[in-house]
Amino acid sequence: MRYEYLTGNIAIAEASITSGLRFYAGYPITPTSDIFEYLARELPKYGGHVIQFEDEIASINAVIGASWACSKAMTATSGPGFSLMLEALSLAVITETPLVVAYVMRTGPSTGVPTRSGQYDVLQSTYGFHGGLVIPVLAPSTPQEAYDLTIKAFNVSEKLRTPVVLLSDAVIAHTYGKVAMREKGEVEVVERSKPSVPPSEYRPYDPVDGLVPPMACFGDGYGVLVESLTHDERGYYSPRTDSQRKLMWRLYRKIAESAGQIFEYSSLYLDSCDVALVSYGSTALSAQVATKVLRERGVRACSVKFKTLFPVYEEGLAKLLEGVEKVFVVENNTGLYYRELRGVLKDREVVSVPLIDLDVPPPQEVVEVVSKWL
C-alpha cells in the first residue's frame, strides 16, 4: 500500500487499473474528461486499450463488446452522455454484460452549468434505461471512497454479470485527498465465473445452481450468443410469457437478493442518535459537519453516509435506523433519494432536505434547515 494525493477522478482511473481494467472507450465531457486523459496515458502501460469514439453511444457499445471479449471494460461520462448511453445499458442488462460506468454528475438539466456540481441524476443512474430493472449504483464522497468503490464496482459487475454505475459528482471529481492505494494482492479483485462444462453442454444463460450464469467469452471455445431479445437458457429468442417471467424474475432477483452484500455505509454517533442526517456523495460531507454542529448545540444527531444507493437494502436500512426518531435526507437536488427512503422507513418521520447548490452545500445551511424541522 502507498499513499498518494489524488482527485476523485484520478482515484477512479487508478482504481480501475487496480481492478484489472483493459478497455476504456469514451467521449470527452466535463467534468469527467481527466479520467479519460489519465487512462489514455496510463492504461497502455498495462497492456490495455483506450479509444475515443464518435459519441457516447458508440463508446458504451464498444465497452459491451470488449467485455464479451473478456476484457474488464469501463466508460466515464456525465449527464448528457449518460442519457445517450441508456439504450445500450439496457442491452448490457439483458445480455448480462459486466461493465462499469463512472458517472460524474454535473449541474443539469441539459447542459445546465457544465463545470459545476449537483445530484440531479441519482434516480436516472439506475432507473434511466428501459426495461424496469435496477442496476447497482455506488456513490463515493471522497477521493479515497472513489478509489475503494471503483474496485467494488468492478467486483460487483463481475460477480453479478451486470453493468454498475459509480456515481460521483463534480465536487468529488476535483477534490484532492489522501488515498491509500492498494497493490496487487492487497485487495480482492473478482473475476467472472467461467463455465465448468464442456462446450457441447454449455448454455450461456443457464444460471446452473444460482442466479448468475457462468460467462464464456468470445475466444474461449464456447458457443456464445449475445441476445437482446427475450431468450431462454440457450440464448434463443423465446417470445413467450413463461420465458419472459423466468428471465425477468432472475434478472430482478440476482440484483435484489444481493442488496445486503452490496450495501455499504459509514456513520458518526449512530449509537446515541435521535435525529439522523442521511446523505450521500459530496453532500454527505456537509451533512457530517452539520451533524457535529448540531451535537455541539445539544441535539442527539448522527450522520449516516450511504456509499451504495441501489439496490436499496430495505430490511437493512430499517434496522440500521431502528432507534432513530427522525430521518433527514440531505441531498443536492429536489429531494430525489428521499422518495426512495420514505417508502422504506414508513414507521417514522422522514424529512427531505433538498439543497440546490452549484457547489457542496454549506454545512451551516444544513444546520439551519434541519433546526427548523426538529
Q: How far is the CB of 6 from other proteins (least distance, A)?
A: 8
- Least distance between other proteins and beta carbon 292 (Å): 8
Residue 234's Cβ-count burial label (10 Å; 0-12, 13-18, 19+) is middle
CB of 222 to other proteins, least distance (A): 46
The number of CA neighbours under 13 Å toward the Cβ of 209 is 1
- Report the nearest approach of other proteins to the CB of residue 5 (Å): 4
| Residue (4 or 42) nearer to other proteins, CB | 4
Minimum Å distance from CB 268 to other proteins? 7
Nearer Cβ to other proteins, position 7 or 238?
Answer: 7
Q: Which amino acid makes up residue 13?
A: A
Nearer to other proteins, 282 or 352 (CB): 282
Rounded Cα gap, residues 98 and 196, in angstroms:
19
The residues pairing with 350 across neighbouring beta strands, listed in sequence order, are 327
What residues pair up with 276 in beta bridges, in sequence order?
Answer: 302, 327
Q: Is 49 exposed, middle or buried (0-12, 13-18, 19+ CB in 10 A)?
A: middle
Question: Which of residues 189 and 270 has its CB atom nearest to other proteins in the complex?
Answer: 270
Q: CB-wise, 228 or 364, nearer to other proteins?
A: 364
Nearer to other proteins, 130 or 178 (CB): 178
Nearer to other proteins, 176 or 237 (CB): 176
The least CB distance from residue 55 to other proteins, in Å, is 27
Sequence letter at residue 257: E
Closest distance between other proteins and the C-beta of residue 176, in Å?
4
**Smallest separation (angstroms) from other proteins to the CB of 130:** 37
Which residues fall within 8 angstroms of residue 280, CB to CB, at 6 or more apart?
119, 122, 139, 141, 305, 306, 307, 309, 331, 337
Query: At closest approach, how far in Å is the CB of 67 from other proteins?
Result: 34
Q: Which is nearer to other proteins, 90 or 332 (CB)?
A: 332
- Judged by beta carbon, residue 18 or residue 286, the one nearer other proteins is 286
* Separation CA 319–CA 268 (nearest Å): 16
**Applying CB under 8 A, which residues contact other proteins?**
3-5, 142-143, 171, 174-179, 268, 282, 285-286, 288-289, 292, 360, 363
